[in-house]
A and B are shown apart, each in its own frame.
Chain A
Amino acid sequence: MNGWRELIRIENVTKRFGSTVAADHITLSIGEGEFFALLGPSGCGKTTLLRMLAGFETPDSGCIFLDGKDLTAVRPWKRPVNMMFQSYALFPHMNVYDNIAYGLRQEGLPAAEIDRRVRNALELIGLPDLAKRKPGSLSGGQKQRVALARAIVKQPRVLLLDEPLAALDRKLRVEMRLELKRLQSEVGIAFVFVTHDQEEALTMADRAAVMKDGRIMQVGTPEELYTRPANLYVAQFIGEANVIGGRLECIESEWLLRQDTHLFRVSGAEVRRHGLMQGSLAAIVVRPERMFIASASSVAERKDYNGLSARVIEIAYLGSAYNFVVQTDEGRRFFVQVQGAEGSPSYRVGDVVMVGWGVEQGILVPMDEFGNTNPPEGIANKLR
């Protein structure tokens, strides 16, 4: 990203709750004006990290910097950071106007200035007529906008959003993604949002950190996370994946991955990306839409493909695509997605077909001998 300038630096932050580690030596940088996602399953520590940025939790060790200033010990009411809560946390005894004005009144601004900024904020969220309404009489989408306005009106350096769309129904959620994106570029504030929904993170975020068990598994743009996952966990969390685990071999300068008795061709570039060697444990990850399916006799054996004979065991029609589940004689299962209607009528459940993928379509990720995919420290915490 051009002109990227560091705004927040989280340095080696650890936080424990009893025996659970919510944040395990997390190091992370977030840029000015960036739309950043903390992505992971529930209990991965993403909300704790957000709450540490807001000041509601204090790290057991490590520091948080904003603009180079140590923020770690600064109380929540003194931080130039505002948060939008998952429940919105609108004050039920105040009307919309007073909710939005609340933060400005704490700053002791002149009444005229407060009024101007509150009206601007109401304008920005497109609800100028609801100023006198109480939160109890608003719809979910309206509450969400008011909560957003209340946080933005303070013009914080960073806006924190805790599962901002989780409480909305699906249609509104998709709408609000674009709306949030528009608002963010309009106000130019850095947004850090927490989500368990990978689709949400991919569509909205400039960059995302994928978290698991209090650790960051990878930081990157949505495209990087999808096409160049650092480990199996990220590969499987972001999108669907066919996974083949095995040991790498190099035969006559061609890289192969051996699973049981079968050898799969592997991209040399991928081996080098992770610095893997002969004998390393690794897994090939193939996205379903990168797989092909063809009639059993049509594909000749080629050096730039991995092809297997398999039987169709399930077909699902999705409207814009067909999903096939196929199984080889050895019991390997593959999930293949075919866009449009091409080839769809040709196969039925029980047919023997050829499935496979181009070698360059196979993503390689490292593994350890227990099948764990925790990356070495260097990769996990790699910054830009």
Chain B
Amino acid sequence: MVSPILLLGPALTWLVIFLVFPLALIFVYSFLQRSPFGQIVFQPSLDNYLRLFNPTVLRVFLNSLRIAFIVTLLALLLGYPTAYFISSQPSRWKNTLLVLVILPFWTSYLIRTYAWIVLLNREGVLSRFLLGLGLIREPISFLYNDTAIVIGLLYGYLPFMVLPLYSSIERLSPELREASFDLGAPPLRTFWHITLPLTLRGIVTGAIFVFVPSLGNFFVPELLGGGQRFMIGNMINNQFLQARNWPYGSAMAFGVMAIVLALLFFQAWVTRRTEQV
């Protein structure tokens, strides 16, 4: 008799070596200090965490939260109609459309981000297009600001919004909508009272799928923000690779994790509340 728990063995081993162990290491680092030459010095303190509250770091945190929030909101506004549209198609089209949604994943996100540089720079497609329309006189670069970062993140993570939304809309029986119409609620009110609350789980799941990686992403702000605009990811990256302050970087990483954990608890709460659905 092989115990079913043994089936978990390979995955569990993998997780322990590549997730639990590094996390534990970083957790320990986050309480230590660095020597002037970047070595780890065993001097336990809460200093690194207290330094998270210095104004510069806080500003980067807040700006990152703001950008991730805008990306999530836009993803929801674009993703909901998309998911709704796909689920309303005849079944033979649905799979094709879903494949189209995830098709970009076949190419590396990094490479696709480079493509956005080509689209958004001074000589890029967008600039030329607007010139051609006569809307602008001089070529304009759309790069190196928060908008470019939002565009890049939105583009990359939109499918993560569409897929959970699609599955929750798809699960919704069309009869519920019809029942609402039948009881006298026009389409907009039906959407507000029936469709939206019953797809809330999909909305929250999609929002977290977009918000969390947006918050931690560092190469999109690096490439499209051009080093002018900073997000948490860049700052952590810098602590590890440039400043060689691993303990401080570790504390920052755990700061991000605290935010993410809070969001996951929120999601669990919403899921429990809508359990009966």
A residues at B contact (CB < 8 Å): 54-56, 75-78, 81-83, 85, 87, 89-93, 102-103, 106-107, 134, 136-137, 150-151, 154
Instruction: Please tell me which one of the listed residues B182, B189, B194 contacts residue A83 in the complex, with CB atoms under 8 A apart.
Output: B182
Interface band, chain B: 20 to 34
Instruction: Please tell me which one of the listed residues B176, B181, B189, B274 contacts residue A91 in the complex, with CB atoms under 8 A apart.
Output: B176
Given that A77-B184, A137-B276, A150-B183 are known contacts, is A91 also in contact with B178, CB under 8 Å in the complex? no
Distance between Cα atoms of A78 and B180 in the complex (Å): 12
Identify which of residues 176-222 in chain B touch chain A, using a CB-to-CB cut-off of 8 Å. 176, 178-186, 189, 193-194, 197-198
Contacts of A136 in B (CB 8 A): 276-277
Contacts of B274 in A (CB 8 A): 93
Distance between Cα atoms of A106 and B183 in the complex (Å): 7
Contacts of B178 in A (CB 8 A): 54, 56, 76, 83, 85, 89
Contacts of A56 in B (CB 8 A): 178, 181
**Min CB–CB distance B17 → chain A (angstroms):** 43
Contacts of A93 in B (CB 8 A): 197-198, 274, 276-277
**Min CB–CB distance A215 → chain B (angstroms):** 26
Q: Are B179 and A85 in contact (CB under 8 A)?
A: yes
Q: Are A91 and B276 in contact (CB under 8 A)?
A: no
**Min CB–CB distance A154 → chain B (angstroms):** 7
* A-B pair number, CB within 8 angstroms: 68
**Min CB–CB distance A237 → chain B (angstroms):** 28
Q: Are B175 and A85 in contact (CB under 8 A)?
A: yes
Instruction: State whether the Cβ of B173 lies closer than 8 Å to any Cβ in chain A.
Output: yes
Instruction: Indicate the member of A55, A92, A134, A154 with the most B CB atoms within 10 Å.
Output: A92
Given that A85-B175, A89-B176, A93-B277 are known contacts, is A77 also in contact with B182, CB under 8 Å in the complex? yes
Q: Are A92 and B181 in contact (CB under 8 A)?
A: no
Contacts of B185 in A (CB 8 A): 77, 102, 106
Contacts of B189 in A (CB 8 A): 106
Question: Lowest 4 A-B CB distances belong to which pairs?
Answer: A103-B183, A106-B184, A89-B179, A89-B175
Closest residue of B by beta carbon distance from A135: B276
**Min CB–CB distance A34 → chain B (angstroms):** 20
Given that A85-B178, A134-B276 are known contacts, is A102 also in contact with B183, CB under 8 Å in the complex? yes
Q: Are B182 and A102 in contact (CB under 8 A)?
A: no
Contacts of B176 in A (CB 8 A): 89, 91
Contacts of B276 in A (CB 8 A): 92-93, 134, 136-137
**Min CB–CB distance B180 → chain A (angstroms):** 7
Q: Are A87 and B277 in contact (CB under 8 A)?
A: no
Distance between Cα atoms of A83 and B193 in the complex (Å): 19
- Could you list some 13 contacts between A and B, CB below 8 A? A55-B182, A77-B185, A82-B183, A83-B178, A85-B178, A89-B176, A89-B178, A91-B194, A91-B198, A92-B198, A107-B184, A151-B182, A154-B184
Distance between Cα atoms of A83 and B176 in the complex (Å): 12
Q: Are B180 and A102 in contact (CB under 8 A)?
A: yes
Contacts of A107 in B (CB 8 A): 184
Contacts of B193 in A (CB 8 A): 102
Closest residue of B by beta carbon distance from A136: B276
Distance between Cα atoms of A154 and B183 in the complex (Å): 8
Distance between Cα atoms of A334 and B31 in the complex (Å): 94
Distance between Cα atoms of A90 and B182 in the complex (Å): 12
Distance between Cα atoms of A55 and B184 in the complex (Å): 12
**Min CB–CB distance A144 → chain B (angstroms):** 14
Given that A92-B277, A93-B276 are known contacts, is A87 also in contact with B181, CB under 8 Å in the complex? no
Distance between Cα atoms of A106 and B197 in the complex (Å): 17
Distance between Cα atoms of A103 and B184 in the complex (Å): 6
Distance between Cα atoms of A174 and B177 in the complex (Å): 30
Contacts of B183 in A (CB 8 A): 77, 82, 102-103, 106, 150-151, 154
Contacts of A151 in B (CB 8 A): 182-183
Contacts of B173 in A (CB 8 A): 87, 89
Closest residue of A by beta carbon distance from B186: A77
Contacts of A87 in B (CB 8 A): 173, 175
Closest residue of A by beta carbon distance from B273: A93
**Min CB–CB distance A116 → chain B (angstroms):** 18
Using A90-B179, A91-B180 as known contacts, list a sample of 8 further A-B pairs with CB atoms less than 8 Å apart, ordered by residue number in A.
A54-B178, A83-B182, A85-B175, A89-B176, A92-B198, A103-B183, A106-B183, A151-B182
Q: Are A91 and B182 in contact (CB under 8 A)?
A: no
Contacts of B197 in A (CB 8 A): 93
